[in-house]
Every structure is written in C-alpha cells, then in structure tokens.
Structure 1
Amino acid sequence: MTLDRLRPVAELLLDPMVAAADRIGLTPDGVSVVAFGFALAAAGGFYLATPLGYLLGALCVLANGWLDLLDGALARTQNVDSRAGDLLDHVLDRYADIVLVVGLAAGIDRYGLGLLAVTGVLMTSYLGTQIQAVGLGREYGGLVGRADRLALVGVTGVVAAVVTDPLGPLSVVGWLLVLFAVVGHLTALQRFWGAWRDLGT
C-alpha cells in the first residue's frame, strides 16, 4: 500500500495549478517554503486538539501535500530543477514530518508515543534517500510512504474533530501515532531489505 505510486497521476492533475503558479511568478523554492508553512499551521491546529483545530489541521495537511507535488512539477516546467532545490525540498519535507507528528503528540500529551512515531517516520524517509545514495534510485515504496502518511493525518484530523471519546486506551490521534511508530519502522526495514537484496549482498 502506497499512494506514492500514484504520484505521476497526481502530477497530471496538477497541470492547471502549475500553469497558474508559473503565470503569477512563483518559484519552486518559494512553493516549498509555503508548503512548510502549511505544515506548521497544521501542527498548530493539532496542538490545540479542538474540533476546529483538527479540521483546520487536516485542510493544511492537504495543502502541504499538494504543494509538495507542485514544487517539483513547477521546477520542471520552468526548467530550473536543481540539486539545491531538491535538497531544500527534502529538508523542508523532513521538518514538516517532524512538526506534524510533534503537533499531534503534544495535542494529546503523548510525547513518548510521539517519539516512537517520529523516529519511524524519519527512518522511512531516510531509507528512501539512502537507497538513492547507493545508486538504486529513489525509493517511494513500502507499507506507508509520505503520501500515505499525509492522507492518514488528514483523515485522522477530520475523524478526531468528530470522535472525541477515546477508542479503548487511546484517542483516534493516539492510534495514528501507534500506526506510525510500528508501520514506520517496518517500512524502513522493508526498504532496507529490498535494497540489500538488490545490491546482491
């Protein structure tokens, strides 16, 4: 399961947004920064842990995800894609991942669970880029990629705005953090094992 496989389809749907962004003079780096701003806003909403906060957070996560696709497509349209832009995009994506998980964990006062979740998220992303670094190409596959995480965070934000009672020992947000903690590390190990075999070791 990974929505990252649908990235080419999503980028086709972005064509009108890319054209509009290009017309008004936006740059890919500027879009990356705005996307990170939406991640910060989402984290703030999740930290409030109110129905309105969760709904606003979910909308901001959706905006972050679309803008994360837009910056790369815009760079290719403007023929300005570069290693520096790719670096900025990756750094801001990782910080966005961190602030989103921290916002979710802080909102329900589950910092230990947040630590387990954020390490799973970061290791998943790290393995994706490290596999590229050893010459196997960028890895988006696995149990839960970044697109899956953003979709799950957005859906959970909407559900948390409606379902305020705990589901057993944890809230809806708490269960999402458990999922990220467990599946994140499993995805990282899955990516590692696949790359290890591809390297012929």
Structure 2
Amino acid sequence: MTLDQFRHVADRGLSPFVRVADALGLSPDGVSVVAFLFAVAAGVAFGIAEPIWYVAGSVLVLLNGWLDLVDGALAREQGVASSGGDLLDHVLDRYADIVILVGLAAGIERYGLGLAAVTGVLMTSYLGTQIQAVGIGREYGGLLGRADRLALVGIVGVVAAVVPGALVADYGVVALLLGLLAVVGHLTALQRFWGAWSDID
C-alpha cells in the first residue's frame, strides 16, 4: 500500500502546525521527542486494555504519526535539516514502534505474538537502511509503510474499544493486528533482501 503515497496531501495541512511549533520555540528535535512521548503514552494506554484507554491510545498514535510529519517540515522551514536530526527521528520512530506494539501485546497478554510483530517491523526498517549502507540506495518498498501501520493501530484501537472482545475467526482484533504486522513485516524484509541481493548480482 501505502499511505506514504499521499504524503504530499498531508504536507499541505502541516503549515499551521509548523507555524505553531515555530512560534512556541520548538526545534525539530524537540518535536521528535514529543512525538515519541506520545507513542510511549499510547503503549501504556494499550497495555491497560480498557475501552477508554484503547481510544486514548488510538488518539495518541495519531498524534505521534502527525508530529512525525511536522518535525521534518519544521526542519525545512527553519533551515536546520541535518543528518543528526534525521538519525534522531529514525531512532525515536523505531522505539515508538516498539513501545506501541509491546503495549498492544501486553494488553492481551500475547507476548510471543508481540515479539513476532516487533521483529517484523524492525527487520523491515533494518533492511531498508542496510541496503542503503551497502550503496544500493534507500529501499522503501513493501506492503505496509509506517503510516499504514499507525493507521491500522488507530483503527483497531477504536474497534477494540467500541466492540470489547470483538472476534474474527475466534481471534481478537488486537491479536489479528499483531499477527498481520508480524507476517507482513517479515515478508517485506525478505522482499527487500531479495531485491537488493538481485541488484548486487
């Protein structure tokens, strides 16, 4: 998929948020840290696994994703885009992915499924950067980008809140989400590896 294809549409709505962040004296790195704190709060909310907390987690995930766009736009607006800022953003994004997925897994006590989802997401990201490191170029291909994952988490959080105990084929919606992220993540990582390996040959 991916929602990343529509990033230019989202960029049009960033200006007011960029102006507010700039007026508040926030740096792009500061916005990245705030976005990460929202992700941590989302993980805690999902871990509580009560309807109202699932809704809160979904809202916090949305805020994390939105601020992840704002930090880059703010860096361009302030003319301070840098490799250091990009590194910090990527590191915090990965930790954000971890705390959100761990929170979801803890809430339903499915830690093995959570581990599979976390490793799938991290391997997808790792293969993208490792391919770049060996000089082939950054690889963003795959079935689910980060924006897609966050959107799915937000939707599932609301479903889990509105229909507590919602089941699909005897599996809860949160468990199904973690399973999907695990399978798609590892398939995407293998897809990226195979594509890069073919380019090397």
Identity %: 70
Q: Aligned-residue CA RMSD in angstroms?
A: 1.3
Q: Normalised by the size of structure 2, how large is the TM-score?
A: 0.94
2:88 corresponds to which residue? 88
Q: For residue 168 of structure 2, give the secondary structure of its aligned residue in structure 1.
A: coil
Deviates more, 1:95-104 or 1:184-193: 184-193
Distance change in 2, residues 1:123/1:134 (3 Å): same
Superposition deviation, residue 128 in structure 1: 1.8
Write the mapping of 1:15-26 to structure 2, written as runs, cut at 5 A. Answer: 15-26=15-26
In structure 1, distance between residues paired with 2:10 and 2:78:
19
Q: For residue 188 of structure 1, give the secondary structure of its aligned residue in structure 2.
A: helix
Q: Where does structure 1 lack aligned partners over 5 or more consecutive residues?
A: none
4+ long deviations beyond 3 Å: none
Q: Does 1:53 align with 2:53?
A: yes
Q: Does 1:141 align with 2:175?
A: no
Q: Where does structure 2 lack aligned partners over 5 or more consecutive residues?
A: none
Write the mapping of 1:104-123 to structure 2, written as runs, cut at 5 A. Answer: 104-123=104-123
2:169 corresponds to which residue? 168
In structure 2, distance between residues paired with 1:6 and 1:152:
16
Task: Render the CA deviation track for 1:65-122: whole Å, top value 9, x for unaligned.
Answer: 0000111111111111111111111110010000011000000000011111100010
In structure 1, distance between residues paired with 2:8 and 2:190:
25
Query: How many residue pairs were aligned?
Result: 200
In structure 1, distance between residues paired with 2:12 and 2:136:
25
